[in-house]
Amino acid sequence: MQSMTSCPAIEREERETIDMESKVFEQAFHIMPVELYAFAADNLRFSHVNTRAQQNLQYTISELLEMTPIDIKPELDEASFRSLLQQMERRQSDDINFTTKHLRKNGTKYDAQVTMRYIEGPRPH
């Protein structure tokens, strides 16, 4: 019978490495000069929105985290947007590219070149 032991020093070092990598990713995400968004495929709610997107859309991060891509893309309805997502989920396309308008908080619109990529995340148990 094999016994399993734990080494707290190694576990702590691994956690610190993961924490550092996470911070580096978050910093890189926020300083990108283009708008970046992440959202959940089930409810479409934004989980991450970078600084450039916040500035362009004129919403606070708190407001954006209560919103979905449909809220900022007035030319797309939910059914057509979900259809695009389904194409990616079925691996019919790695990326989906399209041009649309984004809607700012003050009601003005601006052109947006969108590239969406499906990234498989952990599934709830």
- The reported pLDDT for the residue numbered 123 is 52
User: Tokens 């399209």 map to which residue?
Assistant: 98
- At the topology level, CATH places domain 12-117 in Beta-Lactamase (3.30.450)
User: Concatenated DSSP letters for 76-113?
Assistant: --HHHHHHHHHHHHTTS-SEEEEEEEEE-TTS-EEEEE
Domain ranges of the chain: 12-117
- The reported pLDDT for the residue numbered 62 is 96
- The reported pLDDT for the residue numbered 125 is 45
How far is it, in rounded angstroms, from Cα 23 to Cα 21? 5
State pTM to two decimals.
0.75
- For the chain, 125 residues long, the average pLDDT of each consecutive 10-residue run is 56 69 75 88 93 96 97 95 87 84 97 89 54
